[in-house]
Structure 1
Amino acid sequence: MTNKPALSFGFIVGTTSLAFVVSQLDVSIVNIALPQISKSFTADVSELQWIVDAYTIAFAVLMLSAGGMADLLGAKRLFQLGILIFGIASVGCGFAWNAPSLIGFRVLQGIGAAIMIPSSLSILNQNFEHDKAQRGRAVAMWTAAGGVSIAAGPILGGLLMHVSNWRMIFFVNIPLCLLGLLLSIKLNESEKHPDKGFDIPGQFTWMLTITALIASIIEWHHLGFNNPWIFGGLIFSGVMLLLFLWIEKRAVAPILPLDLFSNSNFNVLVLLGMMLNCAYYGTVFVLSLYLQDVLHYSSLAAGMAFLPLTAGFIISNLISGKIMTSHGTRLPVLIGLVVVTLGFAGLLIAHADTPYWQLFFPFITIPLGMGMAVPAMTTGILASVAKTRSGTASAVLNTTRQAAGATGVAVFGAMANGGAAAIVHAITMSSLLSVAGFIIVGTLIVKYLVSAKHDVANSHPSE
């Protein structure tokens, strides 16, 4: 590392968590502002959807390259670059003059997020690699910050629009980015992976794969599956994926080292992350429509209705770290899966006239379960690779989660297209599909996931 004095646990976790906070906040805060943005720019539904998804596509497309760059060039340098780009893009979003300009700045936000997320997690892993108990606590707090911010997005968005307008949802990022940039100066330099070079063909084919896939899913319900652009886009994405895997198998410095997938722990935890994001992103998107278009809540009331999600993430994220210290990663993952499955099953009671108090159970148990499982999942991913590849491993996890989240929004959102009855039906279907998916993933975890107790237990924090 360096000869700089040791930094405190709280300073390192707090600084790196700022990146996760602003990136996750912008996943959810925009949804609640879409009606105002539509009026401001007279934007149609397609433009509004791209305002939401342009961020996710850029995020998913560049995450793998950013993870490799963090390992190659140093996580601190990439962290600072990413948070600077994100801050500049947020200014642009706040001053956007029409829908296309806002979409363009949202892409730039996604680029910044893709750069700073893997590097922030890599900084955590390298600073606490010597103490597995501290690493478990650090990751739990890092994920807690992101979980709380994504759950608080609709609440904060509703409050900001109540006192100002939609532009404030982007300007709120600026002081957070400035703070993160200033604090990061004190961070220690990180170790670099000895591999040299950059996989340009791999990055290009991966970009085409993800962009074609997500764009096809986004436009599916507008154009229909039989449309040649949709059918052709999905085929093109599949061909590019095969080409990408062929390139990665032969590349000297691949952006996706395929040997990562030789580890069963890594594979099952990546699958878990994909399932959680697909279910959560898609269902929360539909619930936002349900609260406003079916139950007729105002934007502020709809935002406040998500308050139990914030509380649930805070409580369970912190508990997860304590369980990991004593019992390893598998127990909190399994507990979290059981709780989140019960939460999604509870959404089956949602109808056109369901009172809010009946929705409280799923609204609190879903984040409780996710907050229990995600820190353990992330810690298990980091424990399955060498510390100099932690940026790449975290990039794989976050790339697949972002792609799965965009898929959930597109698929469940398409089900909700058609009025109040369609929205209620979409909630029912998203609940059933999520429950089935969690049961399958839970079975695989029981069969394949090693407890990894030796990675997080039996060592004591040095603070």
Structure 2
Amino acid sequence: MFKPSPYHPRFIQIATCLGFVLVLIDVSVVNVALEALRTAFHADLTGLQWVVNAYALVFAALLLMAGALGDRLGAKRVFMAGFAIFTLASVGCGAASGLPSLIAWRLVQGLGAALLVPNSLSLLRQAFHDDQQRSRAIGWWGAGGGIALAAGPVIGGLLISALGWRSIFLINLPVGLIGLWMTYRYAPASPTQAGRSLDMPGQMTGALTLATFTFALTQASSLGWQSPVIVGALLLSILLGSLFIWLEARHPSPMLPLALFHDAAVSSATVIGLIVNLVFYGMVFSFSLFFQSVQHRTPQQTGLAFLPMMAILMVMNIIAGRLVSRIGTRWLAVTGLLISAIGYLLMLPALAAQSYLPLVLPMLLAGSGIALTIPTITHATLAAVPNTQAGIASGLLNAARQVGGVIGVAVFGFFVRQGETTLFMHGMHLALYTAVALLLTGAAVGLGGFKRHQQIPSL
């Protein structure tokens, strides 16, 4: 076995990017595979939503604990555990014999993803001490996610056409093994906080709150919002959420320190992160169904259709990493949200044209705006907290983003639940109007929450 080599920040950066790539590629790839999964398992819309949301649910529910666990045991150790779990679960997904089995392995994938993401940011923070270098490293980290989102639909479409849907999960095996090896060999041991509490009561109530909330939103597509089951689940999630806040306010070392929200930058970034993912993942799910069910595109053609929106993410993430220290968080975040809102608004007349070409510019704008926003709010969050809270702060931001993704897939999926084309397109229009309204709300939050001339200070 190789012995760990001396500290090497660039290889650490590559390893963290590979981890983030794995986490996000399984979002974009699964969306391209929706029709293949519907055919293979005779799945209904609710079943397809669970394939997407089972992963996002566990991811969101465990992110805060994963950040605290990294602070307690060391980011390197927890990051490697996440890599190993995610890789193993990907093999399980590829071997699934039915929809319940696939959903179960997607839950395990969510655990691995939760361990990977906040600790990848902690490793970057430890590896790069210079502010400018750190900004660029986080920009490339975000670009890795952009690459995953851009390449995922295209590669996934090619793999599904050539080898079947199972191959989109099995492709994670070599990537995961490479990432594990690079982290083990090049990343130094991370500092630990042996006395850091994991706050299991808070973790359990928080996870149950998200689980009941996700169940209600997802099952509403088949049961309807007036179903006693849905109403009961929503009420239970409210009660559990209230209990979670009560427990965190009284715990001596809470999983989620409520004092974090006293900082306007952290609270604003958290709200914006939720909104951005709600819109983005909700619309990706809706457009995946539109391209495959309404326009009858193959998985490969669907992947190519998403290429403009996804590919621009990579470029704009890198640009954002360079601009954020010059322009400041307030104007870069607000500008990104407004650009994205304009893109989604322009999709309305583009859909009416009933051809693909008019969608290209709106998709570029929508992707560009989101790619400007995510690195900006990530920088703002990490800059607002001390080193000892880097893991929990990044976990909070990414948990909010994943909760947003769960809500987006559930709510926008409800909008487009009807198979008849006219009703489906009515749902698409409603989803787009909702997306624009939410992004404008996010811009207002950023305008009020970030300081006028706030630059990213040295961390």
Structure 1 and Structure 2 fold alike (TM over 0.5): yes
Residues 328-376 of structure 1 show CA distances to partners (whole Å, capped at 9, x for unaligned) of 3223212212211111111111436522110011111111111111111
Q: Per the alignment, in what secondary structure is the counterpart of residue 255 of structure 1?
A: coil
Contact 1:286 1:426 in 2 (8 A): no
Deviation for aligned residue 1:45: 3.8
Deviation for aligned residue 1:256: 0.6
Partners of 1:125 and 1:87 lie apart in 2 by 24
Residues 114-139 of structure 1 show CA distances to partners (whole Å, capped at 9, x for unaligned) of 111111111112222x3111121111
Question: Corresponding residue for 2:139?
Answer: 140
Question: Corresponding residue for 2:16?
Answer: 16
Q: Per the alignment, in what secondary structure is the counterpart of residue 33 of structure 2?
A: helix
- Aligned partner of 1:215: which letter? F
2:306 corresponds to 1:325: no
Q: If the length of structure 1 is used for normalisation, what is the TM-score?
A: 0.94
Alignment of 1:9-158 (within 5 A): 10-128=10-128, 130-158=129-157
Partners of 1:389 and 1:140 lie apart in 2 by 21
The number of residue pairs the alignment matches comes to 453
Q: Superposition RMSD on alpha carbons, in Å?
A: 1.8
- Aligned partner of 1:164: which letter? L
Deviation for aligned residue 1:301: 1.0
2:427 corresponds to 1:426: yes
Alignment of 1:329-348 (within 5 A): 329-348=329-348
**Runs of 4+ displaced beyond 4 Å:** none
Deviation for aligned residue 1:454: 5.0
Alignment of 1:27-426 (within 5 A): 27-128=27-128, 130-185=129-184, 186-193=186-193, 195-351=195-351, 354-418=354-418, 419-426=420-427
Partners of 1:194 and 1:208 lie apart in 2 by 27
Partners of 1:156 and 1:425 lie apart in 2 by 31
Contact 1:337 1:438 in 2 (8 A): yes
Percent identity between matched residues is: 38
Question: Corresponding residue for 1:452?
Answer: 454
Deviation for aligned residue 1:4: 7.1
Partners of 2:240 and 2:381 lie apart in 1 by 26
Deviation for aligned residue 1:221: 2.0
- Aligned partner of 1:169: which letter? I
Deviation for aligned residue 1:384: 0.8
Deviation for aligned residue 1:195: 4.2
Contact 1:140 1:375 in 2 (8 A): yes
Residues 265-288 of structure 1 show CA distances to partners (whole Å, capped at 9, x for unaligned) of 001111111111111111111111
Q: Per the alignment, in what secondary structure is the counterpart of residue 427 of structure 2?
A: helix
Q: Per the alignment, in what secondary structure is the counterpart of residue 351 of structure 2?
A: coil
Partners of 1:43 and 1:217 lie apart in 2 by 18
- Aligned partner of 2:167: which letter? M
Partners of 1:318 and 1:423 lie apart in 2 by 36
> Mean alpha-carbon deviation: is it higher for 273-282 or for 311-320?
311-320
Cα gap change, 1:454 to 1:198, in 2 (>3 Å): closer
Contact 1:352 1:420 in 2 (8 A): no
Unpaired segments ≥5 residues, structure 1:
458-463
Partners of 2:293 and 2:353 lie apart in 1 by 12
